[in-house]
Structure 1
Amino acid sequence: MLGTDSPGGRLIPGTGTLLPPERRRLSRTLLRAQRYPRIEAARQGLHLRVGVHALIAIALFALTISIGRFPAAASNPELLALQVGPFSLPGVASSAPVSSITRLESPAIPLSVQSPASRQDTVLRASDSTQQALTALSDRASAARADGTVTASRTQEQLPLFYRYEIQAGDTVSGIASKFGIDSQYILWNNIDIISDQHVLAVGGKLQVPSVEGILHQVKVGETLSDIASQYSAKTADIISFPANGLAGNPNLLQEGGMILVPGGKVAPRPAPSLRPQPGVLAAAAPTASTASAPSVVSRPESRVGFIWPVVNSVTSYFGPSHPLGIDIEAPYVSVSAARAGQVVFAGGDPCCSYGLNVIIRHDQGFETRYAHLSNISVKLGQFIEAGQLVGTSGTTGRVTGPHLHFEIMLNGAIQNPMLYLP
């Protein structure tokens, strides 16, 4: 007979007998957990750690595969130093091993690098104001010899007034002109003080090469664009419109003492040098306005036309066919004096080339004198000075082989032999 279950046990019907409740059988796992609780907890922790490590390994494997398929991701710095820190989960020991990825490398990808084509005008372009530009131009000029000639594709907006070029072994005037795309006459006209014989070029000499066919002109006090254009048989409009002149279409922006390029200009044949003073110039020099107190004035014997020696020393190069512009006087960094009273109409120049730092003084009766290769200048543009007043200090700027003074006398624009006018 079946009995009924009750909270207190099992009741047998009709007898009133109450049997004790039956105990349910437990699984072996539960029995072990009750008898050895610490061992069972350790087993569960071990299983959990193994599972966590497996998940980490799967994640790393998937990341490596993705990097291999998408190499661009390898360039991300965040992926190159990926650190997987320790996991800390409830019930899991924090001492689980740490996996560290210090670098992910993608397969090598072949690259093809192409540099843009270089234009020859860019290779030849250089600044005309610093020693660094001079060195750069020398390097580019050497490259130009290998690349060929300068094409006509240069635009005026890209051009400076001139390029500096250092003469190399084997150079010729025509060869240099061809490299820069101009006529050889413009090499000669703009370097008349350097090239005395176009068939013999001194290696290492520095030339001023105009960026276009034209004449480089040092602007004197009182000169106008019309005067300059007329001097070189050029057009005033061409001078104004050439961007490197900095006139911006306004002739009033012409700066005295500066340098401009006269596009298309030509140098007229110079009159034959005078062998004797011109008639009428032996008269006493007319008085010229001077400064109230002329500093550093020296007193020296005057010639019949009022000239004195700017430096008293030996003449190292006399006026003649091989030296057609003036005379050279030995002057190892000494004071240079004005040969006659007058007004400073130019004071400046390029220390690199040609005359270097130089001063031009305009005198009465159509005379002008030039003092070249100075190491410093002691007068200002437009200043009136007396004969014997300090002009500057001799030096080695421009085209020189040693410290000296290059001295010129011009009469109405024509070069004269200074020895005929000095005492």
Structure 2
Amino acid sequence: MDSGKGRRYGGHLALVGIAVAILLAGRTIFANGVTAVENAKADTAVAAPSNDENSSAAENLSATNILTNAIPIVQDDSLAPAPNPYTYQPKLPEHNFQTYTVKRGDTPGRIAAQFGIQPETLLGGNPFLSEVSNALQTGTELTILPIDGLVHDVAPGDTLEGIAQRYGVSEEEIIAYGPNNLEFPYRLQPGTQIMVPGAVREVFVWKPPTLSQVRGSSFEGRGVQPVIQGTGTFIWPIVSRNFTQKFWYAHRAIDVASPMGSPV
């Protein structure tokens, strides 16, 4: 009987001992956990900046943003026109001039009358006629203009206003001539030709030199007369009265034809 009670009491004591051991172990673990949490809070407190440090950092960041905003950003997201490689190209004149080959017996007046233009217009389309006195020969090819006027060869730097002033005509007259194909802003293309209606080409007119009486420096040379000196009188040079060309703007004389060998 006594031995049974002893065993029961021994079992109870063992259970109490185990409970005490568990309680002590839990208290130690709890204490260690509190210590770890406190240490973590302390580390966080050390790592976290103070209020003064936060305000200073904010001010520095704000100043940096102001400086950054003041710098222009080279970036344009706006729509840009597509590149166009084609520049303004004016229309070119579209002339359709006739040509005429000089025949035996032709004169400027006869040729002009045949096409309903003035003799001066032959010079307007054929400037070489005023440069060489004998250029109107049999077989010569002439450009016949459709109206009275002249053809101007456009050179670099030429303007519509300058050409009009040069020939004494209005710009409107040049623009109004359809085949010139002039459209605003009326830019001229070098190397082309434009018709100048109503204009007359300037011609070279030879004038004899003016000679006065020459006085010598010595007695022998005193009173020497010039060799070339007109008398002011006129006589008909030949018997023929066959006019091949009369006096006109580009021909300040008359041409009289006669068989070869006729006396003068």
TM bracket, shorter-chain basis = 0.3 to 0.5
> Going by fraction, where is helix more abundant, 1 or 2?
2
Structure of higher CA gyration radius: 2
Higher relative CO (Cα under 8 Å, sequence separation at least 6) belongs to 2
> Going by fraction, where is strand more abundant, 1 or 2?
1
